[in-house]
Every structure is written in C-alpha cells, then in structure tokens.
C-alpha cells in the first residue's frame, strides 16, 4: 500500500520551497531560534491548531488569516518565547512580526503565517527578531530544511524531519515536513509544531480536509502526558509546482496524496512521541474490532496514555492487567469476553481471560524494543537548567522502526485505529519537577 519512497530534503524537498534557520538571540542559550519556510509562489494553506481555550497570539493570528485567505507564502517561527498569555501587546507583536517579514520578502504581510514556542507569558524579544529577519531572509536556501528544523526545537533531543515522493499522472509529487515536540525541560513549554510543504496542486477545501484527517491519524493520536499546549500548530502548504493536475475532490490521485500526507504526519508524530521527556522507547497501540475507526483510536489513545501502562513498559513488565483496565475505561462499550491483548508476538489475554505465557521472554521483547531505540545515557543530557540547555552536539538520529507494539481487539467490528506514546520514566518526573529559576 505504500506507494511512495523516502527522499532527502525535508520541507525543501518539494519543488519551489526554500528554508532557513538562524541564531537571532531569542534563546538564552544562543542556539538557533528563528526559522523561515518560503514558497516561491503563493501556496494553498491549511492549518490545525490547539483546541485549548488559552491560545497564543500566533494561533489566533493564523486562524484569522486562514479564515480570510486560504493561501500563504511564508511561515515564520520563533523559539524562546511562546507569546501566549501576553494580551493585546502579544497580538501587536504578532502583527508586527508578519509585517516586518512581509516587507523584507516584498510580499503582503497577509501571506505570512506565524508560530511561536517557548515560555508562556513572555513576549517575543522584538528587537532581536527585527534584527534577525534580514539575516534570516539572506540565509534562505533550497537546502535549508535542516537549519529550519534545528531552529524550531526547544528541548527536543533530536530534530524531526521527513520527505516522501510519489508519482501522480507520470510526474513526481513530494511532501516534506519538519516538527518539534513536547520536550518540556522547562515549565510552560509543551508545544507541538509541525510544518508541511507539498508541491501538488490541490483546492483549499480539499487540502484542509486532507490535513484534518491526517492530523487525526497522527498528531491527534499521540500522547506524551496528556497535556495540550497553548501554541500547538500544524501548518501545511501546497504550491502546485509539481505541475500535476489540480485535485479538487477525492479520487485515486487525491487518495494517494492524502495517504502520503498522512505518512509524513505519522512519521513526525511518532518522532515526537519517541522524544517524549525521559522516554526510553516508542509505544504503538493497535486496536481492532471496534465499530468504527474513531472508537478504536479512542481505546488506543487511552491505553497509550495510561500512566500505569507507561510505567509498566518502562519496567519492561508485560502487564496485561493494566492494558485491560485502560481499555475498559476508554468510554467505548465492548463485551469483556471479547477482549484480546497481545504485546509483540505474545498473546496475553483472550476471550477476556488471562493466558499462560513466558513472562521472561515477553519482558525480554520489551527490553530489546526499548534499548535499541536510542543510545543509553542520552536522556541524561536533558537535565540542564537552561531554557534550551540540551547539549545539541548530543543530537542523534532516532530509530522509529522498532516500537513496543501492543495489539488489542475488543470485538468483531471493522473499525481499527492506532495511537503512539512513550514510556514513563524517572527522568520524566525529574525533568518536570525541576524548579524554574
């Protein structure tokens, strides 16, 4: 079914995009903190934003912009200050950011979308932002995706990036994406940001529909600790530079494009879950037998989000009882006699009753899935007390191909769904209990 191949280039892999990331001095650490993605032509733009009642100025700004005009040229992202809970001044800062970038790029400020991540309650350091923008624009490059990916992270241990290519009507079509996750060493930083570029030609309505569905099957199906940020933003551009026929409704080509978009989002989402604070492994929960996909996903998310399940996986404990209990409280009706639970290849429960299994070997499976995912000792670098205090030289590539797989069936329905999470370790508590100052 995977009708695409992985390519290099991130958000600059699709035709007609440039990107940049620079050090503007917004992060106390002096690490890269200002990123820009630019489409060479006006691109169709879609977005999915935090559902929180407490929203950052950039989220309000993007939502308003996309309501009045479903296209954009540029995405500007600053890391360091969240510009949330900053009142009317925060709103003016957002407007000014877009205006300054628009002037520098010689495009209308209405074509600029914004994202911020950092400490809640802090305004963007506007003097540094203003001084940085000319440098940022000067740094734009068709190979600038990695620089942008590095400038949007805060306390992430690794950057997140992907690009895929498929063929539509004999021509290559590409989608690229970068993201940052919820590495919240510091209070008030929990933001998920993801930026996706595509060179297909799609109508605004169809692109937004595709993005919303892809978000449900990726970013909305991961859980680190159940907290939702004030700044969560997923923005996707489609600029038509692949010169493929315009897609305006669902059909074979549109389905192909949506499947690839979903794969890009799922890769980024899994990378974020794997990089959850203190995590030692990625957990994938697959639920089948529900009456529809939504209910299956609801059960999967409840299991992936259960502190008891997460702590058991950290302890390499094949604890079917906690999985059963989490499934039972997901708010989805099922007959407990239908419950079937598997970890890896180990069948632990069937027809609602526990089975005999080799506990030591099952524990070994959990251990191997976890230990192969990231070098030991890596998380220990995540302890600094600086806002962006992670030793960036430690950033390594994640392995996402070896998660702990939990499979649950709750009946005979045709609905299936997946969710991703990470285990709960001592380091999660350590990271989040550390005092701000």
Tally DSSP H helices, then E strands, for the chain.
11, 16
Q: How far is the CB of 329 from a copy of itself (least distance, A)?
A: 4
Select 150 or 225, whichever has its Cβ closest to a copy of itself: 225
Select 359 or 396, whichever has its Cβ closest to a copy of itself: 359
Q: What are phi and psi of 42, to 5 degrees?
A: -60, 130
Select 88 or 397, whichever has its Cβ closest to a copy of itself: 88
Two structure tokens written together for 295: 């209910």
Select 136 or 339, whichever has its Cβ closest to a copy of itself: 339
Q: How far is the CB of 251 from a copy of itself (least distance, A)?
A: 36
Say how many C-beta atoms besides its own lie within 10 A of residue 90's C-beta: 24
- Angle at 140 (CA atoms; ends 243, 41), nearest 5 degrees: 30
Q: How far apart (Å, rounded) are the C-alpha atoms in residues 320 and 298?
A: 18
Q: How far is the CB of 64 from a copy of itself (least distance, A)?
A: 15
Q: How far apart (Å, rounded) are the C-alpha atoms in residues 265 and 175?
A: 10
Q: How far is the CB of 349 from a copy of itself (least distance, A)?
A: 7
Q: Out of 191, 197, 280, 302, pick the active-site residue.
A: 191
Burial class (CB in 10 A: 0-12, 13-18, 19+), 394: middle
Q: Is the dihedral of CA 384, 32, 174, 238 positive or negative?
A: positive
Q: How far apart (Å, rounded) are the C-alpha atoms in residues 248 and 44?
A: 12
User: What is the contact surface with a copy of itself in residues (CB under 8 A)?
Assistant: 51-55, 85-87, 119-121, 184, 187-188, 190, 225-230, 305-308, 311-312, 314-317, 319-322, 324-330, 332-337, 339, 349, 351-354, 359, 363, 424-426, 428-430, 432-437
Q: How far is the CB of 302 from a copy of itself (least distance, A)?
A: 9
C-beta separation of 275 from 160 below 8 A: yes
Select 134 or 426, whichever has its Cβ closest to a copy of itself: 426
Torsion, Cα of 46, 63, 110, 143 (10° steps): -50
Select 325 or 395, whichever has its Cβ closest to a copy of itself: 325
Please confirm, yes or no, whether 191 is among the known catalytic residues: yes
Two structure tokens written together for 170: 């004999």
Q: How far apart (Å, rounded) are the C-alpha atoms in residues 278 and 382?
A: 8
Two structure tokens written together for 125: 């350091």
Q: How far is the CB of 193 from a copy of itself (least distance, A)?
A: 15
Q: How far is the CB of 271 from a copy of itself (least distance, A)?
A: 21
Buried-state track 36-53, b at ≥16 Cβ within 10 A, e below 16: bbbbeebbbbbbbbbeee
Compute CA 13 distance to the chain's CA centroid, rounded to the nearest angstrom. 19
Length of the chain: 437
Catalytic residues: 191
């Amino acid at each position: 079914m995977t009708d695409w191949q992985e390519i290099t280039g991130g958000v600059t892999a699709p035709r007609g995009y440039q990107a940049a990331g620079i050090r503007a001095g917004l992060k106390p650490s002096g690490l890269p903190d200002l990123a820009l993605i630019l489409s060479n032509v006006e691109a169709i733009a879609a977005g999915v934003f935090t559902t929180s009642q407490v929203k950052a100025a950039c989220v309000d700004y993007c939502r308003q912009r996309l309501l009045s005009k479903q296209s954009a040229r540029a995405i500007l992202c600053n890391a360091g200050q969240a510009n949330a809970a900053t009142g009317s001044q925060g709103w003016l800062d957002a407007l000014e950011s877009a205006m300054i970038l628009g002037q520098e790029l010689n495009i209308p400020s209405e074509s600029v979308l914004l994202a911020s991540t950092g400490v809640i309650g802090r305004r963007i350091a506007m003097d540094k932002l203003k001084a940085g923008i000319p440098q940022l624009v000067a740094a734009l490059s068709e190979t600038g995706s990695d620089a942008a990916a590095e400038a949007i992270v805060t306390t992430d241990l690794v950057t997140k990036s992907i690009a895929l290519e498929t063929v539509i009507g004999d021509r290559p079509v590409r989608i690229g994406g970068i993201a940052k996750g919820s590495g919240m060493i510091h209070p008030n930083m929990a933001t998920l940001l993801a930026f996706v570029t595509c060179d297909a030609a799609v109508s605004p309505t169809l692109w937004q529909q595709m993005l919303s569905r892809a978000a449900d099957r990726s970013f909305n199906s991961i859980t680190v600790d159940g907290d939702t940020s004030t700044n969560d933003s997923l923005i996707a551009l489609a600029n038509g530079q692949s010169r493929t026929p315009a897609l305006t409704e669902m059909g074979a080509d549109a389905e192909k494009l949506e499947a690839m978009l979903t794969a890009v989002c799922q890769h980024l989402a899994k990378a974020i879950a794997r990089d959850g604070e203190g995590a030692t492994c990625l957990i994938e929960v697959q639920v089948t037998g529900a009456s529809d996909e939504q209910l299956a996903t609801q059960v999967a998310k409840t299991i992936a989000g259960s502190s008891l399940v997460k702590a058991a996986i950290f302890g390499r404990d094949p604890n079917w009882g906690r999985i059963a209990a989490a499934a039972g409280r997901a708010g989805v009706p099922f007959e407990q006699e239908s419950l079937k639970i598997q970890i890896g290849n180990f069948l632990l429960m069937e027809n609602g009753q526990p089975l005999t299994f080799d506990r030591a070997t099952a524990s070994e499976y959990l251990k191997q899935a976890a230990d192969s995912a990231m070098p030991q000792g890596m998380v220990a670098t995540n302890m600094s007390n600086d806002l962006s205090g992670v030793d960036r030289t430690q950033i390594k590539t994640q392995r996402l191909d070896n998660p702990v797989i939990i499979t649950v069936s709750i009946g005979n329905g045709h609905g299936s769904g997946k969710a991703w999470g990470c285990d709960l370790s001592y380091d999660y508590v350590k990271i989040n209990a550390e005092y701000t100052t």
